[in-house]
Chain A
Amino acid sequence: MAELDAAPETRSLAEQRIAVATQWQLMWWRFRKHRLAVGGTIVLAAFYLVALFADFFAYVDPQESDAQRSLMAPQSINWIDDGRFAPYVHALKGTRDPVTFKRVYVLDTARKIPVALFGRGEPYVLLGFIPMDRHLFTVEGAKAGESLFLMGTDMQGRDLWSRLMFATRTSMTIGLVSVALSLVLGVVLGGISGYFGGLIDTVIQRIIEILRSIPTIPLWMGLAAAVPNDWDVVQIYFAITIIISLIGWTELARVVRGRFISLKEEDFVMAAELVGCSKSRIIFRHMVPSFISHIIAATTLAIPAIIISETSLSFLGLGLRPPAISWGVLLQDAQNIQALVISPWLLIPSIAVIVAVLAFNFMGDGIRDAADPYL
């Protein structure tokens, strides 16, 4: 008897839970079930951790070049030394091949360079206000010729791992800044278009249609080429974000407009109008909360496109330029096929691009499915 009673009891508890759950709780429960989306979110969290603490994950100055270490292959760490945990790498000796004059590196197995986890290295300022000198791993007290090259080095002998960490910071934030700009433009123009309708709607829709029918990359290239050469890294960074978002807002505007138009017909909006709510109250208090989740989904799905745009522009040499470091700037080194065949590790940054874009797509899909139970 007791067992039979318990069953309806628990079911009604679960139902009660759903009945009183807020919109966000419902979304979160649905989102949690989407395994790919959760995976994508975790990966993105890791990427942004790297972006935030790039100095900690890098172990040398990403700009430090050394012709003696040009195009070194990635080293692998040996974790166990003499049966106990003591990671080390073998030293590398650079020589020239007498026949081809190519620089070759030979493993010097006699020399072991100990790698310290959380060891002291180059000093830096964490998050802009905490002075620190600990890194995820370093070679403590490195002598000349002793260093670690987890992902090898580029043409100028700069450490690719450390550069990749800083590139992640640039490329991942450029997506956020650009999408924020596009969002403002998209929500304002899409909102106006959808809420007021009529002539202004037609004009904005035509503008969107025109912008979408122009091949974007030639346009971006033209605009980016006009960025003066003497601007510093920060100025170019913002110029590029503005250029990218100038065209990126159209998709967001389309989503916002669609939502506004469908919500305008809803009873609760009419009710709010009838009790004499002001226009801004109707928009921000009644309409925005009911479609904000869709906007978040559309925004998440817009970021990967922006990351690809930045990478492509920088790859062409028209986006961010050295000394700025971004994924696209790193991939510039891979432009030369001959160099790439000799040193394929120069393509490693492309893995970061693909993984980040995939993760954003998965997360965006998950949010979209969670936001719209009817899909």
Chain B
Amino acid sequence: MVAYVVRRLLLAVLTVWAISVLSFIIIHLPPGDYVTSYIASMSASGSAVSEGEATALREQLGLDKPITIQYVKWMGLMLQGNFGMAMEWGRPVSDVIGDRLSLTMVISVAAILFTWALALPIGIYSAVYRYSFLDYVFTFVGFIGLAIPGFLLALIVMYIGFAYFGANVGGLFSPDFAEAPWSMAKAWDLAKHLPIPAIVLGVAGTAQLVRIMRSNLLDELRKPYVMTARARGLPEYRVVMRYPVRVALNPFISTIGYLLPYVVSGSIIVSLVLSLPTVGPLLLKALIAQDMFLAGTIVLLLGVMTVIGTFISDLLLMWVDPRIRLGRQ
């Protein structure tokens, strides 16, 4: 059990490192560096930066050093919680990201909760009543859900809200609360706005999980121990829920690790369409403005958060599955 946790923890650390390298590459991919884009933005606003000033700035920022040293320095700053300056905003990155990162997580977790709450019962029903009318309905709806990209679903939801109800269904807060400090009333306001983004984000994942749950449970239901349980006269509810569902749940939980990056990914685009105050719109703006410190930090932080989420799902899997808990493969 300890070996398992340590192994997973090591993998998580390795992943965080890989993500940091990738984020750093993203920061450095565009031609030029921070100073060239700084010069460009300065000359766009009418003030010139001299050659000497540019070199001084490069030296000050350490941009004249080899790339590996720059990476080490960047990581050092990151570990101290100093994410650099968001150029466009003229404020520290941590200031700009602030609440947005936690809101991204709130939305993602809400979407995953929605996914489970829906996928589990539907998957169980579809497996137990295979080829029934409702099973076909769920399969069909699931196919459609898989085929519609998240941003498109968001667009359609927005369109319907706007055209038929005359209401803007986007956003996470009512205008009164958008700038207000945190309070119970604001949290309640957030809770009221949460369902639509959570549903939009969760639909594709739900469709996928229903399929997984259905086929897992079907495999289990065919096994002799189910027949034994039935032959011994157990009530049907217990026959299904007590053992096969528990076993079928297992691969289901192991996919949580993949569900989280998937949902976080989706939330970026969906947030743009639904104008949610998450890091999504910020990332897009930063990328278009080539504000690579901000963009790199967001990619890195999102990556780290998914790694933490995956690690939690590994622990969860251990809790549910005694084979892993007891250290047997």
Contact = CB atoms under 8 A, between A and B. Distances in A.
Interface stretch (B36-44, B119-127, B266-274): B266-274
B303 interface: yes
A226 interface: yes
Interface string B281-317: 0011001101000011011001100110010000000
B273 A335 contact: yes
Contact of B144 (A210, A308, A344, A358): A358
A226 B310 contact: no
A56 interface: no
A331 B154 CA distance: 13
Given A210-B18, A214-B303, A221 B287 contact: yes
A334 B310 CA distance: 35
A214 B306 contact: yes
A315 B269 contact: yes
30 contacts: A210-B14, A212-B258, A213-B258, A214-B261, A214-B303, A215-B306, A217-B268, A218-B265, A218-B283, A219-B22, A222-B299, A223-B26, A225-B290, A226-B30, A228-B30, A228-B31, A304-B147, A312-B150, A315-B151, A316-B272, A316-B284, A318-B284, A334-B155, A340-B162, A341-B159, A341-B163, A347-B155, A357-B146, A358-B147, A361-B143
Given A215-B264, A223-B26, A335-B273, 19 more contacts: A210-B15, A212-B258, A214-B19, A214-B22, A217-B269, A218-B299, A222-B299, A225-B30, A311-B149, A312-B150, A317-B288, A337-B155, A337-B158, A340-B162, A350-B155, A353-B152, A357-B147, A357-B149, A358-B143
A209 B257 CA distance: 10
B143 A225 contact: no
A32 interface: no
Interface string B156-193: 10110011000010100000000000000000000000
Contacts of B11: 206, 209
B148 interface: yes
A311 B144 CA distance: 17
A354 interface: yes
A221 B290 CA distance: 12
B45 to A, nearest CB: 20
Contact of A353 (B149, B287, B296, B306): B149
A318 B295 CA distance: 14
Contacts of A334: 155
A344 B29 CA distance: 38
Nearest to B273: A335
A349 to B, nearest CB: 10
A216 B163 contact: no
A354 B144 CA distance: 8
B85 to A, nearest CB: 19
In the complex, which range does the number of interface residues on chain B fall in?
35 or more
B162 A337 contact: yes
Contacts of B299: 218-219, 222
A308 B178 CA distance: 32
Nearest to A335: B273
A361 B29 CA distance: 35
B265 A216 contact: yes
B159 A312 contact: no
A225 B302 contact: no
- Minimum-distance CB pairs A-B, first 6: A226-B29, A222-B26, A225-B287, A217-B265, A215-B265, A357-B147
A354 B147 contact: yes
B22 A318 contact: no
A337 B257 CA distance: 34
Nearest to A221: B287
B22 to A, nearest CB: 7
Contacts of A217: 265-266, 268-269
Contacts of B144: 354, 358
B268 A221 contact: yes
Contacts of A209: 11, 15
A316 B270 CA distance: 11
B166 to A, nearest CB: 10
Contacts of A308: 149
Given A214-B261, A225-B290, A341-B163, A354 B18 contact: no
Nearest to A340: B159
